[in-house]
Amino acid sequence: MMRATNPVLAGLGVAAAALAALATEPRVAVAGTATGESTYQSSCVACHGADGAGVLPGVPDLTSTDGPLALADAVLVKRIAEGFQSPGSPMAMPPRGGNPGLSDEDIKAVVRYMRQEFAIR
């Protein structure tokens, strides 16, 4: 005996599969907003590197147990927003990582991303 497929249930199955696929896709910035990852990739990676260890002399290692991520979020947000020069470093991070278009929300998102990505293990 053939079993009839309920078109409503079939449609729900397709919708559920699409939602599941979206949940596993990388987060993409919505027009006018950025994710922490996209902000890091566009404004931070050149100096801090894809792995967070720093690619230029004097750039702090974000993966170090006593590095910048050991500080409070408010301190990190302030340093990113205003710029900061680590003691003994020959260079300073410019305000907003050299990207004046970064909003305060973008900065908070990149701090969350760095904590997640470069968690001290």
How far does CA 22 lie from the centroid of its chain? 18
Residues 25-48: tens digit of each pLDDT:
333 343 345 799 999 999 999 999
Residues 50-86: tens digit of each pLDDT:
999 999 888 999 999 999 999 999 999 999 999 999 8
Pairwise pLDDT comparison (73 vs 3), residue with the higher score: 73
Could you give all domains of the chain from N- to C-terminal order, each with its CATH number? 28-117 (1.10.760.10)
SS3 54: coil
User: Which string of b and e fits 51-76 if b means at least 16 CB within 10 Å?
Assistant: ebebeeeebbbbbeeebbbeeeeeeb
Burial degree of 83 (CB within 10 A; 0-12, 13-18, 19+): middle
pTM score, whole prediction? 0.70
